[in-house]
Amino acid sequence: MESIFFIVVAAVAVISSLLVITCKNPINSALSLVMTFFCLATFYVMLDAPFLAVTQVIVYAGAIMVLIIFVIMLLNIRTETAKRSSHAVFAGSALGIFVLFQTCLFLMRGGMTGAPGPLDHAAIVKAGHVELIGKALFTDFLLPFEITSILLLAAIVGAVILAKKKI
């Protein structure tokens, strides 16, 4: 039953990700991206990582997509009316098929290293996902976390300044 559910969610994820790049309307592309994020959150739940699933929904499907849709509406992006050149579509398709082939080849030939990490499954279950992630985020990775928040703030300020010049 799990494998059937996985196949259905994977098919929805692939279809919605294809809609992200094929929709001519940017709002429809953004909504398809939200659906892809929800499918990814479902995969996290299936991998027994509920914290990552909730974070995926709150941060990406919620906050980041609201920001993207706000920027699309603020900048008043028009739909593409010009016809795409066939050689660019062919080159992009060929590159995508090559990358897909290489990924499948890597996954079939590759294997798990079997190297033990600092935490095993029993320690993760005992302490909990959220506690371990929070401890690592606010001790070992505090500086990258804060730099990321400053970069996001700079991007928002830059988008507002660019939009103000056109108004």
Distance CA 62, CA 64 (A): 6
Spatial CB neighbours of 35, under 8 Å, sequence gap ≥ 6: 12, 16, 19
CB of 40 within 8 A of CB of 16? no
Tens-digit pLDDT profile for residues 140-158: 899 998 998 899 889 888 8
Distance CA 54, CA 34 (A): 14
Tens-digit pLDDT profile for residues 94-128: 888 888 888 777 767 766 556 666 777 777 777 77
Structure-block tokens of residue 134: 């929070």
Say whether pTM exceeds 0.75. Answer: no
Stretch among 77-81, 133-137, 139-143, 161-165 having the lowest mean pLDDT = 77-81
CB of 27 within 8 A of CB of 70? no
Tens-digit pLDDT profile for residues 51-67: 888 888 888 888 888 87
